[in-house]
Structure 1
């Protein structure tokens, strides 16, 4: 082969390689398109854990997609009010939101299943139901009517029973009480004489201070302390029987979800799951110290009277039976959820509850001497 022939062939090979490189680049670019979303949170920035899941998910999605899929989070009120986050996603005003499905029970009480049911599953059991009990499939089938795809993305764990300006000594003290409470807990309490009010987190303190409401529940010690509720309502009750868990939904506009490349959908799922773990861990780390601080600042811890708990439990079961009889969507969930709940209760009574009860009862005795 002469030199001229060699360089002619080498040049052809090089041109072919260059062409292949040029052709490959757009293909790669097309598989990782630039996507920019907005996320509205139902929470103010002062609630660093609940608002923090929005920034955490946004950051992680960007990292997983090498900056090609970005989500800009906004606090409650910056785009839409806290309680309109779900509506904004349905309408396509924003692509996604962090919120509680239970804020929407006025449209349909079936929304409550995604968040929690009063006297229902605890946090681990609820997550188990969502991922392994058919819960997520039911939720997303239901959410299609609202143009939403839902991903579990955060959780508060078991909550407290709220702040009260006056002491609750019996069921009678609930009569006429104006209380900020969302979800089915408010519906149940209304049957016991309470006047429930649905108010965004940032508006609770001024409402209590002005006397517009007499009591308010929000979350647990870490978040409640940030809202300063102990300054205007000193009696702090437990347990928060209406939210033994509270799943925070990443609500995504269904059309936008379906448009996403599969790798971006996977990135959202992974980021949401990671945010869930960190959210729970952060609450477990911070709630004990916050409770000590609140009591030190004058909060008066009180257990709910037994007659209140028993009456609320009875009304909750009546309410679910009534909804199931009149609402086919609620019934479909309930027929799945109830046996799963009962099965989980058996296991909890065998292993989880006895362990937790004994271990916690011995904790004080095992503390080192000061």
Structure 2
């Protein structure tokens, strides 16, 4: 029997109803999530502080408001550098921060946040997803009742802003310098006095001479904080932080209470956040470096001798921590094994970074 138009319409209606039912069923499987998410960085800081707000927006849109994360600016709910402790203790459900501020309690955390002479952003993402990084992350943090999700990896930091020129590593001795994570301990190997201050305090510290230099973040962020106005010299490359990795810290009990579907939505949103963050970071830095030079900043590249000295000091500090802390050694060994495995592809699969200079373009 030839199907009638009514039959076709009826079939289409049935298919539409089934699709609606499937969609409704998927939506029903999502938990209703209402979290306040304190951040360590202001949402105004490009690629550093604006990734989590972007992820929150995507989650609201994709779930029709079922997952509603309200980001909170640094210091408005809890101190800016205390995300880990407050999530661990259950004072907050979740928070967003660079991983490493807690490395006094969790030494291996510093490696996940940034490993000197270690993995760059895309390499770090590859290690996390395909070479055991996620499993090691959970092994590191679950004992503290924290489930971190990588949710924003960005390009290298600048190596430091200084009030005077650094012609050799001897010039570093005695300087008062702001640094975070294991990089700060490496700087101490050169006789520097290292302290940790939040980003909002650094301009005044440089202006008044409380600090002789600082590292903090991407050129775009450094520009927003005005470092070029109070420090004449900018040094590259960011050997101490080849990638900057930020995480959504979730209380483990809260995470385990979510349905598998809700957990999957969070994981997808944060993977999208990683793509957003690295794309946004890479899109903007070249123009900012040029603008620094146009405004009179002396942009310097560390010499091979200086970088070799930094590498030697990094090997000393990272080796020492690997011996002192079993989990630190386990994570660092895994990273370095992957870095060695990747080397043939990295060195031969890509054009050298200075290929245009080499061939005269």
Q: TM-score, normalised by structure 1?
A: 0.87
Relative to total residues, which structure has the larger helix share, 1 or 2? 1
Superposed displacement of residue 285, structure 1: 1.2
Of residues 55, 58, 64, the one that matches 2:53 is 55
2:196 is matched with 198
Secondary structure, in 3 states, of the residue corresponding to 1:102?
Answer: coil
Structure 2, gaps ≥5 residues long = 1-23
Alpha-carbon separation, structure 2, partners of 1:261 and 1:360:
53
Alpha-carbon separation, structure 2, partners of 1:48 and 1:126:
21
Q: For 1:89-238, what aligned pairs fall within 5 Å after superposition?
A: 89-238=87-236
Alpha-carbon separation, structure 2, partners of 1:334 and 1:286:
31
1:303 is matched with 301
Of residues 325, 340, 344, the one that matches 1:346 is 344
1:357 aligns with 2:354: yes
2:254 is matched with 256
Alpha-carbon separation, structure 1, partners of 2:338 and 2:181:
21
Alpha-carbon separation, structure 1, partners of 2:257 and 2:136:
22
Superposed displacement of residue 320, structure 1: 2.1
2:20 is matched with none
Q: For 1:312-323, what aligned pairs fall within 5 Å after superposition?
A: 312-323=310-321
Secondary structure, in 3 states, of the residue corresponding to 2:353?
Answer: helix
Which one has a bigger Cα radius of gyration? 1
Q: Runs of 4+ in structure 1 displaced over 4 angstroms?
A: 26-30, 359-362
Secondary structure, in 3 states, of the residue corresponding to 1:356?
Answer: coil
Of residues 270, 282, 307, the one that matches 1:284 is 282
Q: TM-score, normalised by structure 2?
A: 0.89
Of residues 34, 37, 41, the one that matches 2:35 is 37
Alpha-carbon separation, structure 1, partners of 2:298 and 2:26:
61
Alpha-carbon separation, structure 2, partners of 1:320 and 1:51:
28
Superposed displacement of residue 283, structure 1: 1.2
Superposed displacement of residue 46, structure 1: 2.6
Structure 1, gaps ≥5 residues long = 1-25, 366-370
Contact 2:43 2:53 in 1 (8 A): no
Secondary structure, in 3 states, of the residue corresponding to 2:82?
Answer: helix
Alpha-carbon separation, structure 1, partners of 2:39 and 2:46:
12
Secondary structure, in 3 states, of the residue corresponding to 2:68?
Answer: strand
